[in-house]
Amino acid sequence: MKRLKFITLILVLIILIQGLWRNTMNLEYIYSMEKNIGILDSHIKPYERDILHLVYLRLKNMEDNRISREDPVIKTDEQNLRIHFNSQLNQLTNKYLLGDEIILDEGTEELLQDDLRMRIISNAIEVVNESDKEELQRAADLYMESRRTFYIEAMAEILRPYENIDTNLFIRQLQDPIDIQGFFYIGEQLQYRDREPSVTTFLNTEELPLYEELWSEINRIIPSSLTDSIDGIVIYSGMKGRNQPYIRQGEMGDFNLYLNKDKIFTSEGLAPDFYKEVLTEIAFLITTREGQAEYRERPSITRFFQNGMLANLDSYLNQFYIRHWQDLQKDASISRGLRFSEGTYLFYLRHENKFVSYDAAYGPMEDFAESFSTFVLQEKPSGNEIWEQKIRFFYEFSEFSTIRNNIRRNLEN
């Protein structure tokens, strides 16, 4: 009799433990789900939440199976389900959070990009020798027709012998075109490239002293251990695409600072936003330098990967990514167009309480950079919002504290 009671007790304990385990797993699932829905969670109706839960559960099962196989590559079925999940979120964001705001549609966005691409290609054709013009035009036509990156590289190979053309910048411009208004090469001194094909709107030469002042100020406030790694300065206007290093044959290309002309100058000289713009770019430099990343084709399950750049396991960026982005990837990794794309803005609306700015919502690298600039320029936050936790992340590393102290001291002088 005692033995029977003992066995019964054991069975009851097993059932309770299984139930507790299921509840724990369910709570983890609900937590992860709510992190993806973000602010939207308090607006949607119960039946809309149920639909999202069904899609998310299936997506999570597919992801868990892939991770159990240690396979970092997302197959077509999972990617299609991610796109469907993101589409559902975007529809609900439009319904509950967007209001009367107008967003540039993807068709208009693509037309603007193609106009810039044609201007860049036309500029390149003008500066090459007659013997290269026909071959360059043929590669350009094939690219515009097929959109295969192979033809961008073919154009770059034609341009590489020309010393005054930055082919890495040319490739990046065709992949993600923006309105570049000036390019400066940094040698022993600042050198303005007045025939760089990637420049779509050239600067007035009377403005050039402003950029010498700009470079002098950058050298004054930023430690030389960082500025020594800057190869050039790109001045652009309007919107900017995703900031990422140019990767070729497993190596990172030159590092250029991208500075928005509309934000760094006023009629009286350098604008207050100048320092934020520079510090954001310095953060990109920190995440891509030696010891922080490697460059290869294949992604990893445990490390942040973006277009050929794989963050090292213990790198600053990877630690930031694991802590603040892994649970957001199902939502964030779908719509990654230009900064003014609809998907990026709708994602930001769902999660604006997690970011220091709209630009930070563009991806882990941008979030790291925007949070870093806020870390340097503002006092340490004491609240528990996610964006505040991101800023406090940098206080955990002595290198960042040293950089912050040096820059703030230079700004005060």
DSSP for 71-108, written as a single string: --SPPHHHHHHHHHHHHHHHHHHHHHT-TT-----HHH
The separation between the first and the last C-alpha atoms of the chain, rounded to the nearest angstrom, is 86
Residue 398 pLDDT exceeds 80: yes
Residue 69 lies in a domain: no
Residue 356 pLDDT exceeds 70: yes
Residue 257 lies in a domain: no
Number of domains into which the chain is organized: 2
Residue 363 lies in a domain: yes
Q: Which two tokens stand for residue 352?
A: 């604006």
Query: pLDDT: is 291 or 405 the higher one?
Result: 405
Task: Classify burial at 208, counting beta carbons within 10 Å of its beta carbon; exposed 0-12, middle 13-18, buried 19 or more.
Answer: middle
pLDDT at position 101: 54
- Which residues face 237 on adjacent strands? 179
Q: What is the 3-state secondary structure (H, E, C) of 346-391?
A: HHHHHHHHHCCCCHHHHCHHHHHHHHHHHHHHCCCCCCCCHHHHHH
CA distances to 20, 134, 196, 319 from 252, in Å = 49, 30, 21, 21
Residue 47 pLDDT exceeds 70: no
Residue 340 pLDDT exceeds 60: no
Residue 27 lies in a domain: no
* Residue 304, helix vs strand vs coil: coil
pLDDT at position 19: 47
pTM for the full model?
0.78
Domain that holds residue 401: 293-412
Q: In angstroms, rounded to a whole number, what is the distance separating the alpha carbons of residues 390 and 348?
A: 16
Residue 166 pLDDT exceeds 50: yes
Q: In angstroms, rounded to a whole number, what is the distance separating the alpha carbons of residues 337 and 349?
A: 16
Residue 244 lies in a domain: no
Q: In angstroms, rounded to a whole number, what is the distance separating the alpha carbons of residues 351 and 328?
A: 9
Axis crossing angle, helix 167-175 with helix 149-159, rounded to the nearest 10: 160
Residues counted in the chain = 413
Residue 286 lies in a domain: no
User: Mean pLDDT score of the chain, rounded to an integer?
Assistant: 81
pLDDT at position 344: 77
Dihedral sign for Cα atoms in the order 149, 152, 154, 157: negative
Range with the lowest mean pLDDT among 233-242, 267-276, 319-328, 381-390? 233-242
Axis crossing angle, helix 76-96 with helix 46-68, rounded to the nearest 10: 150
Q: In angstroms, rounded to a whole number, what is the distance separating the alpha carbons of residues 159 and 353?
A: 45
Mean pLDDT over residues 229-245, rounded?
74
Domain end among 163, 187, 203: 163
Domain end among 163, 184, 205: 163
Mean pLDDT over residues 78-84, rounded?
77
Percentage of the chain lying above the pLDDT 70 cut: 82
Nearest Cα neighbor of 66 from 296, 58, 331 is 58
Q: Which two tokens stand for residue 132?
A: 């290269």
- Asked whether the beta carbons of 344 and 336 are under 8 A apart, the reply is yes
Residue 39 lies in a domain: no
Residue 27 pLDDT exceeds 70: no
Residue 278 lies in a domain: no
Domain end among 97, 131, 163: 163
Mean pLDDT over residues 93-100, rounded?
73
Q: pLDDT band for position 318 (50/70/90)?
A: very high
